[in-house]
A and B are shown apart, each in its own frame.
Chain A
């Protein structure tokens, strides 16, 4: 059984309240950090831990913190990205809902490290009830002297503000988030300048995911080196995975990143296998934006090695035969699921969520959705598949923010690995409306050329 650092206490009765959380050892990291450590030492500790951003891109958190500009007399800000709107991802929600004080604790330590006196939590608008939970936790923390002026006599002041979004996925992109937080339309900014130099109100800003900031607590408590011992390679510590789809036990799991994908899906400790005794067809391992993989490439890499649940292994093979850890939204498809339909659903999502600033993303996402709808409803042509490929190719890399890429990748991966299924839809317009393509050969062993 793997170690749990974040959710270990999540089910202790009453852990949402300050008293229980404190009794269980909460806020120790704040005491340690503010009383015995300098801000630079905390950054150093986070660097040593190897913690990578949990919001999707996996950028080393300590490194990001060390980039923040420190001009004289200019306030700096820490912003917690709780916008969590990626289809398939619901881990931050779980953490904030069940153990809100862990996030607040992480935020205080991180704010101290970065010198942020006003720290913001930007939370997805639909998480309305969690706003109340967080504000309750903030009030309790303040009443007990963990927030406000001169915390623990250290001279450090800090307040945390919760701001609700208005229902836009794009506001999870860090610069769109900053615009929205400033009260503007949530359009991503053109980078550079990066937020570390010019972020919220033109001030140096760090934006981190909820899970990233919560992970700072065990890192400070146990030390960066101890934290780095969990996991493997550059995938240190534990990771929250929100598993959903056709599995027996959907939910949020904290894993240390040494287990194999196969174990994660089939063991009773985690997903408990495919529901209703069906067979595994495909999986999107890291939230809707990352490439979908057929069963055979999900469980084994193209080299025939076991694939593990960590950053390196999931992306082994690049986009040709691999995928990404992304935000940890693990979506499992059984043999009865239709990849064309799923791709259409995702395309519809990205068309709806594009901010519309850049022409390739604004127009291309809508175009792809329409073509996919045709294929899905038996009106597709075989030239449509190549056209889709061409459209996604011309969106990817040519836009302001990564939403363009995120819209292109699922389509590209679906065509790359499931072209047969698309072609079958086009060739059998009537039959495809009555039955699914099924598992086909997607779980067959991959022939691995023997190496000399």
Chain B
């Protein structure tokens, strides 16, 4: 079947895309500011999208055949282009207003605990609020809180941070044999849960961490070990014995230490295609258990967009300065203090996320 091409104009930029392409994917082809933010759509997960409403756009002309504008803003991730369609994203005041509204809604119950959240630095909600949000909040009520839940010994669920994008549910559904978790209850009291707290034990379940746009699902083997922007991502691979696993990963390293292993991500924050042409999901063994450089064949530093906070280490094309101290002193310098051990001063046993509202000294003197 020869591919039919449709002409679509987004923010006055015209491109041709195959019939069946969504507005969002057409906009991603153009790139830059015209691309609507997308918090729930995930091109590798069937059925995803349509929920978060951050990707709303205005269709000012339906198509060449039927030029009528669409009456409401539409979710660009779930609306396919028509020939001659004209779309307004960043150029529509209506869209910008609705988007700011969605950002506000997503944040009213978010704990904003970025300083203690492992996702900080690679969190899509942070990026979204930074670009489309406003300073301050009009929300004057207690934020909704949930207890943290351990889903097995490798994954932690921080429901308080969840934006209910459903990505992890689709991932578990589509990647693993059995889905053991889902959405419980409804409305603003809905939650991701296993119902009866139990392990998520599937050999691919670790991928839910990679699809989670926020810090709701985090890797317990990396928990509080480091800030992502202090670690440097390095592309690496191994010959994984699991036939479904591509074995192509990113190692997040500091010095020679591997802090974390994740799948490789593209510029939209989605798991990339692997060299075998399939989506590069990785198995739990590669993710959680292979934390030594000699487990891996290192390919070299991953390319990181220079606007990302992760690029602040400027490690690409970096020349390592000569170590001169050992030469000078004829021994290794002695460390005065191990900065990686936790201090008791701040009472680490107090659960910060369960403190409602700002923390006070009284919270720590209990």
Contact = CB atoms under 8 A, between A and B. Distances in A.
Interface of A: 168, 170, 185, 190, 351-360, 362-367, 370, 387, 394, 397-400
Q: Which 5 A/B pairs are nearest by Cβ-Cβ distance?
A: A394-B101, A356-B190, A354-B187, A363-B105, A366-B188
B317 interface: no
Nearest to A403: B187
A359 B187 contact: no
A364 B54 CA distance: 14
Contact of B52 (A185, A355, A359): A359
A354 B51 CA distance: 13
B186 to A, nearest CB: 5
Instruction: Identify the interface centre among A170, A352, A355, A359: most chain B CB within 10 Å of its CB.
Output: A359
A168 B186 contact: yes
Given A190-B78, A357-B51, A363 B190 contact: no
B163 interface: yes
Given A190-B75, A362-B164, A397-B73, A370 B186 contact: no
Contacts of B190: 355-356, 362
B101 A370 contact: no
Contact of A185 (B49, B163, B183): B183
A368 B106 CA distance: 15
A443 to B, nearest CB: 35
Contacts of B141: 367, 370
B164 A356 contact: yes
B139 interface: yes
A212 B182 CA distance: 36
Interface of B: 49-54, 56, 72-73, 75, 78, 97-98, 101-102, 104-106, 108-109, 138-139, 141, 163-164, 166, 182-183, 185-190
Contact of A356 (B49, B56, B182, B188): B188
Given A351-B187, A359-B53, 12 more contacts: A168-B186, A356-B164, A356-B183, A359-B164, A362-B188, A362-B190, A367-B108, A367-B139, A367-B141, A397-B73, A398-B101, A400-B75
B52 A358 contact: yes
A38 to B, nearest CB: 33
Contacts of A400: 50-51, 75
Contacts of B188: 351, 354, 356, 362-363, 365-366
A358 B53 contact: yes
Nearest to B101: A394
B187 A365 contact: yes
B241 to A, nearest CB: 36
A363 B106 contact: yes
Contacts of B54: 359
A358 B105 CA distance: 10
Given A367-B108, A367-B139, A394-B105, A355 B187 contact: yes
Nearest to A170: B186
A300 to B, nearest CB: 30
Nearest to B164: A356
Contacts of B101: 360, 394, 398
Contacts of A353: 186-187
Nearest to B138: A387
A381 to B, nearest CB: 9
A46 B186 CA distance: 38
Contacts of A351: 187-188
Contacts of A190: 49-50, 75, 78
Contacts of B73: 397-398
Instruction: Identify the interface centre among A366, A370, A399: most chain B CB within 10 Å of its CB.
Output: A366
B195 to A, nearest CB: 12
Contacts of B50: 190, 357-358, 400
Given A190-B78, A359-B51, A398-B98, A366 B187 contact: yes
A362 B50 CA distance: 14
A386 B106 CA distance: 20
A356 B144 CA distance: 14
A354 B97 CA distance: 23
